[in-house]
Amino acid sequence: AQPVADEIGIEHVIASAKPEDKLAYLKSLDSSDITMMVGDGINDAPTLAGAHLSVAMGGGTDVAKASADMTLLGDNLEKLLEARLLALRTRKIIRENLAWSLGYNLLILPLAVAGLVAPYIAVVGMSASSIIVVSNSLRLLKEK
């Protein structure tokens, strides 16, 4: 667990702990700290439910998977790194889409209200803007 944690920037790792120790440790942490729990068994469910972010292993129990925020496909902890990178790419694309949408609307709406742009042109532009946003989002499917 520690090598994977080091690779993705997790500062503190506890592995091979008893279920009651996991939950007690989680409760002892400062509530402003962001906590992540990775588990695979029934005994991990309470701690998974109490963490800010919880991850169940793909080969884990149904109870662990139901208690977790996300489930890894398989039991390879290196998938956590892939999930983090996907989350960072997703956030970047969301910001790009918001910037594009807000920029278009802040530019076109005042022009349309002032009568400088015909309404049908604004509608066509809005449709084109939506296509651009969807196309930009589709980049996530081809990036690995």
Q: Which fold has domain 2-77?
A: Rossmann fold (3.40.50)
Q: What is the pLDDT of residues 56-110, one digit of tens each?
A: 999 989 999 999 999 998 888 888 888 889 999 999 999 999 999 999 999 999 9
Domain coordinates in residue numbering, the chain:
2-77, 80-142
Residue whose pair of structure tokens reads 């007690």 in the numeric block:
24
Q: What is the pLDDT of residues 8-47, one digit of tens each?
A: 787 778 888 888 888 888 888 877 888 888 888 888 898 9
Q: In what order do the strands lie in the sheet with 36-39?
A: 36-39, 53-56, 70-71
Question: Is residue 70 classed as helix, strand or coil in its secondary structure?
Answer: strand
